[in-house]
Each structure stands twice: as C-alpha cells, then as structure tokens.
Amino acid sequence: MLAFSRRQTLDPKPTQANQLIEGMRELITRTVGPAVCITTDLSETLWPTLCDPHQLENALLNLCINARDAMPDGGRLLIRTENRYLDETSAHERDMNPGQYIVTEVSDTGTGMSPEIIERIFDPFFTTKPIGRGTGLGLSMIYGFAKQSGGQVRVLSEPGKGTTMKIYLPRYAGAVEAGAEQVRSGEAPRTGKGETVLIVDDEPTVRMLIKEVLEELGYRAIEAADGASGLAILSSAAHIDLLISDVGLPGGMNGRQMADAARHQRPDLKVLFITGYAENAVVGNGNLENGMHLMTKPFSMELLATRLDTILKKR
C-alpha cells in the first residue's frame, strides 16, 4: 500500500538497467525454470536512469514470475530495453510528462489478459491467481515504484497472445559508476558456519531474492509462503538458526503470531521481522521480545546480510 500510494521510502541512484538485467540473468533463469526460453534484446546505447535499483530488480523479477505463471506449459520470455522520447501527445496518452525515458519491457507468449482484467491489474489486492498463490500486491508495488520514480507502467495483452509489460523511467543526464547499481553480495558479510534461515513471505519475489543472496553468502535457506507453512517447519525437527518473516501474511496467521507460537517450542529462536509498516503497528505499541528484531522495507541486500550477521553473533 505504501508503494501504491507512492509513499514508500526509495533510495534512488544513477542506474544502468542493462547491467542490472545482466546481473540478474542467472537468478531469472533459475526462477522461471527450464520450460521457459529466455532471450534479451538490450539497447547498446541505453540511457541511464535515476531510480532505486533494488526496487527495479524486484519489479523485473516479479514480472518474470508473472510471465512464468502465464506459461504453465512453457514458452518464450523476452526482456528488452530501449530509449524513448515522448512528445506531448504520446506522453498524454500514457499519463506522463513529455521527455526522454528508458523503457524496460518483459514479454511472454502466455495466456494473455482480457481488457476487463487489464483495467484492474494495478489495483491493490486484485489477483487472477488461485487463493493462497498471491496477494495481488506485486503489480501495484511496481506501479507505485514507477510513478514515484517519475515514470509509468503500461501493459499490452490479448487473450491467447501473451503479455508485454513496459516500465518507463526518466533518463538521467549524469554518469553511472560501472556496476554500482547491482546487488553486490560479495561485499556483504559472509557466514562461515552455514546457518539455516527460514524465510516466510507471501511474495515469491521477496523470498527468491533473499534466498538467492543468502545462499551466495553461505547460508542454507528454507522458504515458506504463509504463517501456517512456516509454523509447520518450525514445529518439526528441522534445525533453524533464524526466522525471517514478513509481518503481514495471508491465511489468518501473521508473522508475529507465527513467531510467538514457534517460541513455545523454540524459546531461543532468533527472529527478524521485515515490514513496510510503522514499528508501532507491528508490535502493537509494545516492545519486541528479546531476540526479536525489525527491518523496515525497502532495504538493500547488503544491509540485510549485515543485520543477520549481527543477530547471529549475539548468542
């Protein structure tokens, strides 16, 4: 909701989208699976843009996951970038200001969408996925991020003919430090003990991005999509060194309730809550218990890794 209302805290930096996409290639390939053929068409003269690179990464990964879900039997996924100048007429048609933009688009050969669905896809909590498979916040977050960055999101789709999602972001006139916008997990603190972290979040993009980074840093990561699934793992004999959980989870059990229930069996369980809401809303105007910690979205993966390193050293 913070993203959709354009009130989330962003950390804009000069960003070269092509480098960011290349840095995500392996993650995207593993995420969409072998049934999807991925191709790229990246402009060799692409302008830089000024945006929060972590939010752009999250947006692209989210679009790729949506594309994968629209192609249950496999298909083709194209990631493309280009420079665009929008005159008064073109900008008005897109509800944007005239000017120079970079366009990052994700196209698939999937099921496509009807005009009725297209009209609602950016509405918070609207989803075409089965119950329990999505919150309907992914596209609204992308929309909010693009608008807050001075851009826009547009969709082209027909039933049976696939979908193309386009993210417009304004051109940045300054220089970009090579590789500066990528998630540099090599600079984050690594673990030498192989601790096991349980990640509970209903947004698959968040889970996959955190899991990817933590595994690169030497952690073992386990995923769960809701409180009930997370509690089932925590109630088992599985070794868990740390729980990372979103606070707002579907299914009637939020992250705090799950952690409290788990601590009846694991009283020393270390917990890190991640949320986009104010701290008081999370803890009910009270205090987090000993061993419970909080991070507010959005945050960099380096910051997350540093926080985990600090928490796990407090034994």
Per-residue pLDDT tens over the stretch 66-97 = 899 899 999 999 999 999 999 999 999 988 99
Strand partners of residue 41:
80
Strands 220-224 and 196-200: parallel
Query: pLDDT tens-digit profile of 230-260?
Result: 999 999 999 999 999 988 888 888 888 999 9
| CA separation for the pair 74, 71 (Å, rounded) | 5
Q: Does residue 48 or residue 313 have the better pLDDT?
A: 48
Q: Which pLDDT value is given to residue 248?
A: 82
pLDDT at 198: 96
Mean pLDDT of the chain: 82
**174: confidence class by pLDDT, cuts 50, 70, 90:** confident
Higher pLDDT among residues 148 and 206, named by residue: 148
Q: Is the pLDDT reported for residue 175 higher than 80?
A: no
Identify the pLDDT of residue 1: 39
**Which pLDDT score, from 0 to 100, does residue 61 have?**
86
- CB count in 10 Å sphere of residue 165: 24
Average pLDDT over residues 142-154: 90
Phi-psi region of 18 (alpha: psi -120 to 50; beta: other; left: phi over 0): alpha
Tell me the CA distances in angstroms from 100 to 48, 82, 104, 164, 195, one per residue in order: 11, 11, 13, 21, 47
Q: What is the pLDDT of residue 297?
A: 67
159: left (phi over 0), alpha (psi -120 to 50) or beta: beta
Give pLDDT tens digits for 103-141. Answer: 999 999 999 998 888 887 877 655 655 444 444 446 778
Identify which of 51-55, 101-105, 216-220, 250-254 has the greatest average pLDDT.
101-105
Instruction: Please report which confidence band the pLDDT of residue 177 belongs to, taking 50, 70 and 90 as the band edges.
Output: low
Indicate if the pLDDT at residue 284 is higher than 70.
Answer: no
Q: Which of 20, 8, 280, 294 is nearest to 176 (CA)?
A: 20
Res. 187 pLDDT band, cuts 50 70 90: low
Q: Which domains does the chain have, with CATH numbers?
A: 13-170 (3.30.565.10), 185-313 (3.40.50.2300)
More confident residue, 26 or 129: 26
Q: What is the pLDDT of residue 137?
A: 46
Compute the average pLDDT of residues 14-36: 89
Q: Is the pLDDT of residue 282 over 70?
A: no
Reply yes or no: is the peptide bond before residue 204 cis, omega within 30 of 0.
Answer: no
The span from the CA of 4 to the CA of 292, in Å, is 28
Nearest Cα to Cα of residue 223 among 31, 82, 19: 31
